[in-house]
Structure 1
Amino acid sequence: MTKTDYDNLLFEVTDRCARVTLNRPARLNSFTEAMHADLADVLTYLEEGRSNAKVLVLTGAGRAFCAGQDLSEGQMSGDGEVDLGHTVDRLYGPLVRRLRALPIPVIAAVNGVAAGAGANMALACDIVMAAESAFFLQPFVKLNLLPDTGGTYLLPRLVGEARAMGLSLLGDRLSAVQAQSWGLIWKAVPDAAFASAVAAVVDQLKDGPPLAHAHIKRVIHVSLSNDLNEQLDLERDSMRELGQTRDYREGVSAFLEKRAPSFQGN
């Protein structure tokens, strides 16, 4: 299935993998209102289960992943009285919430520069893979702003307060290789092997257990605000629910029979 009626991104679902390619390469795939609307429509399509996708890949066309907000668009230009909080509340906050809540794994395939909201959108995904030539940038301070799109939440939890503060206060670029060594992302891959490395992870995820994937996402995300007792109770409840599924019985049978499991999502 392919949807071609978007002006700002490419979207297709093939072989149980949904793929979104932000497609404004001349503007480094920076966000506009129209791009937000296109991406929101895709997420609605996936949330409603109108595809058989088991994984979503988010990437960019050309030499960038996403350079954040397009500052040439009026409401973010800085001219006049602009309510940036309204923009964040209406566009960027919902985007992060929807990516986190999507029951299928989301891979950010960072093929180039990921800056501002683009960087933090990537970090909100479940697995972040980056080409070694890519880099991450929190340039907000240079506009007299602070990291949005979940940046102030995600950065300290991923790399600690000291590194989060340095990235935010200085606005310096962070290479993909350094991002991996800091634990900011899952993996940095040589450019020549990047596409095949992403494809290998996609293959692993789309053949995995969809119910377990959904539970893993939910339980790990809420662990950041739960105490130990709350998290132990949540693990218990999820294990109880997953242990009553056919896919659990299939996983055990496959293990004992030394074969690959065939998960059906039930």
Structure 2
Amino acid sequence: MEFVSLTKTQHLAEIALDRPEKYNCFNRQMALELQTALDDCQEDEEVRAVYLTGTGKAFCSGQDLQEVTAEDAPSFSTILSEHFNPIIIRLRELEKPVVCAVNGVAAGAGANIALACDLTVAAESSSFIQAFCKIGLIPDSGGTFFLPRLVGWQRAAGMMLLGDPLPAKEAERIGMIYATYPDDSFAEESKALAQRLAAMPTKALAMTKRALNYSMFNNELEKQLAIEEQLQSTAGLTEDYQEGVRAFLEKRKPVFKGK
């Protein structure tokens, strides 16, 4: 792949958006490569967690505007239905925890891809921008779905209608992201978080993610209770559950295998 890198170490898959000279903005090739990388992570049983970040100064500046203004430019319908929407669906359906490490500015679709991940962390100097209104567009890539649920209607509306940058520390304070880390230790601390997840009982984490999806997307309380019952029964049959109980009774640290 040319614009997305994928490396795997000790059950952790690291995906990096890699167009640093373009602030990691998406063209068609990069979007399709990210989809391929996420599919690879889903299919590889040795991968137990995913770490998504960007190279260079930015995480992702959204859509490459040179692509959409070219003579043979794809339509917005094509860009969303074939490029961005499949990425969002893959992030939510991936049966493994995804940590998004926002190393710099996350703007437009880049910001909303970050918000679709399971745990989003950011370097203290980074920021999030719902930049769509600056060029007469609406937020896409799931932004109008995830952002109001994370920060509430008024804050989401303000961010989308005004397009002002939101510093990472403020994003953490209002609950939009999980945590911020100092710039000089960001890579180390954010990757340690992903490695910690990769060493946990990831079958159960995948089912927790599935339950959160049901809760966020389409369930009332009684349906959610039924889903929890179903998933808990399945989790109780895993090897990791048996190891967790044994370790607790034997007063030792469990060794999970994601099975």
TM bucket normalised to smaller: over 0.9
168-177 vs 137-146, which moves further: 137-146
After TM superposition, give the deviation of residue 82 of structure 1 in Å.
Answer: 6.3
The answer for the alignment partner of 1:253 in structure 2 is 246
In the alignment, is residue 35 of structure 1 matched against residue 35 of structure 2?
A: no
After TM superposition, give the deviation of residue 80 of structure 1 in Å.
Answer: 9.3
Q: Give the Cα–Cα distance (whole angstroms) in 1 for the partners of residues 76 and 112 of structure 2.
A: 17
Q: Give the Cα–Cα distance (whole angstroms) in 1 for the partners of residues 229 and 213 of structure 2.
A: 16
After TM superposition, give the deviation of residue 78 of structure 1 in Å.
Answer: 8.2
User: Could you state the TM-score of these two structures normalised by the residue count of structure 1?
Assistant: 0.93
The equivalent position to 1:238 in structure 2, one of 222, 227, 231, is 231
Structure 1 gaps, min length 5: 1-5
Q: Give the Cα–Cα distance (whole angstroms) in 1 for the partners of residues 181 and 174 of structure 2.
A: 15
The Cα offsets for residues 43-85 of structure 1, whole Å up to 9 and x where unpaired, read as 2212222x51111111111100000001011xx2287996312
Letter in 2 for 1:21: A
Instruction: Report SS of the residue matched to 1:129.
Output: strand
Mapping of residues 204-215 of structure 1, within 5 Å: 204-215=196-207
The answer for the alignment partner of 1:15 in structure 2 is 10
In the alignment, is residue 143 of structure 1 matched against residue 128 of structure 2?
A: no
After TM superposition, give the deviation of residue 200 of structure 1 in Å.
Answer: 2.1
Structure 2 gaps, min length 5: none
In the alignment, is residue 221 of structure 1 matched against residue 213 of structure 2?
A: yes
Asked if the contact 2:122/2:186 (under 8 Å) is kept, the reply is yes
Q: Give the Cα–Cα distance (whole angstroms) in 2 for the partners of residues 238 and 42 of structure 1.
A: 27
The equivalent position to 1:175 in structure 2, one of 167, 179, 188, is 167
Q: Measured at CA, do residues 229 and 26 of structure 1 come closer, stay the same or move farther in structure 2, by a change above 3 Å?
A: same
The answer for the alignment partner of 2:85 in structure 1 is 93
**Number of positions where the alignment pairs a residue of Structure 1 with one of Structure 2:** 258
Q: Give the Cα–Cα distance (whole angstroms) in 1 for the partners of residues 137 and 118 of structure 2.
A: 26
Letter in 1 for 2:53: T
Q: Give the Cα–Cα distance (whole angstroms) in 1 for the partners of residues 29 and 74 of structure 2.
A: 19
In the alignment, is residue 65 of structure 1 matched against residue 68 of structure 2?
A: no
Instruction: Report SS of the residue matched to 2:96.
Output: coil
Q: Give the Cα–Cα distance (whole angstroms) in 2 for the partners of residues 105 and 187 of structure 1.
A: 16
After TM superposition, give the deviation of residue 119 of structure 1 in Å.
Answer: 0.5
The equivalent position to 1:44 in structure 2, one of 35, 39, 45, is 39
After TM superposition, give the deviation of residue 149 of structure 1 in Å.
Answer: 0.5
Q: Measured at CA, do residues 82 and 201 of structure 1 come closer, stay the same or move farther in structure 2, by a change above 3 Å?
A: closer
Among all aligned residue pairs of Structure 1 and Structure 2, give the percentage whose two residues are the same amino acid.
43
254-263 vs 134-143, which moves further: 254-263
The answer for the alignment partner of 2:99 in structure 1 is 107
Letter in 2 for 1:24: R
User: Could you state the TM-score of these two structures normalised by the residue count of structure 2?
Assistant: 0.95
Q: Measured at CA, do residues 143 and 265 of structure 1 come closer, stay the same or move farther in structure 2, by a change above 3 Å?
A: same
The Cα offsets for residues 135-190 of structure 1, whole Å up to 9 and x where unpaired, read as 00001011211110000000000000110100000000000000000100000111
The answer for the alignment partner of 2:21 in structure 1 is 26
After TM superposition, give the deviation of residue 227 of structure 1 in Å.
Answer: 0.5
After TM superposition, give the deviation of residue 251 of structure 1 in Å.
Answer: 0.6
